[in-house]
């Protein structure tokens, strides 16, 4: 089967193909993995990993039907076959990893693999949907909208966590006990948030490990300052890792569009004017994207259009420079 995207955005793809992609994406969204790492290895092997294998097989069949697509003369991002090509490479690798998983693999590692499968397949389906839709810049469907909203909530929660931790740390620099109490309280609030269930499993495991270390230190009769420093450094490592939420494919597309709209809206405005109120929700949705932007958002001092404009220009410049590839991103064109 060969599906072509005709110039101008119209598509030769049958409606049933687009429906299949959407149906797969919806099933992936509904595959909830939160908390399954606490189940037994036998339960995960019998009831969780087979779902991953089935979804991979279904995705392989779907993308294989498009892999031979040839839309000569069109931009790479309009070729379903190119998306299918790279998706199939990743699907094949994941199928091999899943089938060769060691029986000794702990439950949380198995669930983490399934989490990776879910993310990879959702990214591939979303990319294909954009190409198969009637318009080149088609609006997100409901599944994609929910994924973006979920990622934005997670990023906002992590930004609030970092801001609260930074504010408290300034008054607890030389007091290990105050530091540990601050860290323990901040992590407890993070774990208790509604967004926590949407964190990556690896992040949740790290948070729990740091919590155990804090509890052990607070319960110790001899509170060693060097051990407190080690725990604090582990927490700072998590703080840095938490910014990886910005590598989420759906967030990257959202942020690119939001920054472009802000740049256009701020162009030509008087330098010392405040940020127009209609732009405040757009800026707020970017909280957690970049330390410099976060500082502006969190500042209690007057912030001018010039400050916002310069910050947004510099961030867009950074994003335009080559960087380490997102492991969940799919290239837009296969090798020639």
How does pLDDT run across 226-281, given as a tens digit for each residue? 999 999 999 999 999 999 999 888 888 899 999 999 999 999 999 999 999 999 99
Cα separation, 250 vs 309, in Å, equals 24
In this prediction, residue 17 has a pLDDT band, given cuts at 50, 70 and 90, of confident
Residue 209: C-alpha distances to residues 104, 184, 215 (Å) = 21, 12, 10
- pLDDT at position 139 is 60
Higher pLDDT, 8 or 110: 110
For 232, half-sphere exposure in the C-beta direction (CA atoms, 13 angstrom radius) is 20
Reduced DSSP (H G I as helix, E B as strand, rest coil) percent helix, strand, coil of the chain, to 5 = 70, 0, 30
The pTM score is 0.81
Report which DSSP code applies to 76: G
**Which residue in 248, 252, 250, 269 sits closest to 327, CA to CA?**
248
Range name among 5-14, 23-32, 53-62, 94-103 with the lowest pLDDT average: 5-14
Report which DSSP code applies to 246: G
Give every CB contact of residue 245 below 8 A, 6+ residues apart in sequence.
151, 154, 155, 158, 251, 288
């Amino acid at each position: 089967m060969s599906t072509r995207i005709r110039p101008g955005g119209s598509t030769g793809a049958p409606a049933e193909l687009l429906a299949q992609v959407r149906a797969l994406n919806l099933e992936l969204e509904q595959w909830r993995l939160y908390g399954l790492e606490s189940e037994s290895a036998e339960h995960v092997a019998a009831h969780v990993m087979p779902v991953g294998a089935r979804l991979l097989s279904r995705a392989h069949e779907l993308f294989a039907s498009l892999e031979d697509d040839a839309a000569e003369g069109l931009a790479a991002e309009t070729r379903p076959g190119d998306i299918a090509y790279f998706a199939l490479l990743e699907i094949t690798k994941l199928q091999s990893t899943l089938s060769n998983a060691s029986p000794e693999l702990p439950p949380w590692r198995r669930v983490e693999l399934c989490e990776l499968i879910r993310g990879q397949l959702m990214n591939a389906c979303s990319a294909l949907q954009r190409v198969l839709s009637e318009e080149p810049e088609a609006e997100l469907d409901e599944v994609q909208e929910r994924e973006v909203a979920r990622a934005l909530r997670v990023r906002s929660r992590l930004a609030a966590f970092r801001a609260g931790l930074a504010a408290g740390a300034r008054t607890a620099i030389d007091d290990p006990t105050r530091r540990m109490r601050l860290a323990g309280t901040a992590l407890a609030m993070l774990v208790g948030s509604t967004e926590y269930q949407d964190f990556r499993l690896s992040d949740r495991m790290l948070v729990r490990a740091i919590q155990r270390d804090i509890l052990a230190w607070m319960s110790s009769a001899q509170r060693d300052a060097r051990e407190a420093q080690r725990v604090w450094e582990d927490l700072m490592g998590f703080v840095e890792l938490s910014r990886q939420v910005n590598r989420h494919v759906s967030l990257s597309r959202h942020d690119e569009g939001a920054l472009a709209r802000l740049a256009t809206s701020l162009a030509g405005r008087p330098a010392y004017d405040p940020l127009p109120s209609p732009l405040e929700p757009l800026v707020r949705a970017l909280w957690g994207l970049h330390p410099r932007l976060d500082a502006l958002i969190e500042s209690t001092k007057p912030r001018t259009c010039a400050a916002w404009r310069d910050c947004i220009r510099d961030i867009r410049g950074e994003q335009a420079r080559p960087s380490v590839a997102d492991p969940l991103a799919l290239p837009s064109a296969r090798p020639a």
